[in-house]
A and B are shown apart, each in its own frame.
Chain A
Amino acid sequence: SQTIHQWPATLVQPVGSPLSLECTVEGTSNPNLYWYRQAAGRGLQLLFYSVGIGQISSEVPQNLSASRPQDRQFILSSKKLLLSDSGFYLCAWNQGLSSGANVLTFGAGSRLTVL
């Protein structure tokens, strides 16, 4: 069966510090991978998605970047965090339209607080 792991679960970082959130998927190959952010009162915002190694699409211009160094690994990074980067970050995966539907499986989330 497939599983998705996301870490760290919680993170408190000062403004201006770097960020690295990691997500890995097990039990599947060539998944589509996604990073969403959930800020208070703002719902889920799609940040990045990737359909293959090294292929990253950005939905919103921001202080963050994403990378996919391996097939089942997706990393969210920032060189210098802003207060506005605080939020709940969710990694997700699916197999895309080839499987008939784009149902997402989410990780448990990473709570980032920037002080």
Chain B
Amino acid sequence: SQQGEEDPQALSIQEGENATMNCSYKTSINNLQWYRQNSGRGLVHLILIRSNEREKHSGRLRVTLDTSKKSSSLLITASRAADTASYFCGSGAGSYQLTFGKGTKLSVIP
């Protein structure tokens, strides 16, 4: 069964705007990760946040985690056309594998 669900399914913004994507999961986790997928390519790891962390930054990325609500958000600031991709959250519950949702398809319009 799928652990994470991203929201919205699709997001279209102008270059320079901020993009926010949300992720909900169902069971307890020890970490949550965000990945990016360009069309027709494999997923690339962006950032990991552990269950005892509330916020994490990496360049233009900001991730938050609310374990009480079983949710996470990914904020991309000052978006660029090159940020156009699908974004997935993967939740890890202590076993080896991650489970993913359907992703958010982000389109950044130049």
Contact = CB atoms under 8 A, between A and B. Distances in A.
A90 interface: yes
A97 B40 CA distance: 29
A102 B102 contact: no
Given A49-B96, A51-B96, A103 B102 contact: no
A107 B48 CA distance: 19
Contact of B43 (A6, A32, A49, A106): A106
B100 A44 contact: yes
A103 B41 contact: no
A98 to B, nearest CB: 10
**B-side interface mostly:** strand
Contact of B33 (A42, A97, A103): A103
B41 A44 contact: no
Query: How many A residues touch the partner, as a band?
Result: 20 to 34
A1 B47 CA distance: 20
B59 interface: no
B82 interface: no
Contacts of B92: 101-102
Interface in A74-115: 88, 90, 92, 94, 96-97, 101-109, 111
A69 B40 CA distance: 28
Interface of B: 2, 31, 33, 35, 40-45, 48, 50, 88, 90, 92, 94, 96-103
13 contacts: A6-B42, A43-B2, A43-B102, A46-B99, A59-B97, A90-B43, A92-B43, A97-B94, A97-B96, A101-B48, A102-B31, A102-B96, A104-B45
Interface of A: 6, 32, 34, 36, 41-46, 49, 51, 59, 88, 90, 92, 94, 96-97, 101-109, 111
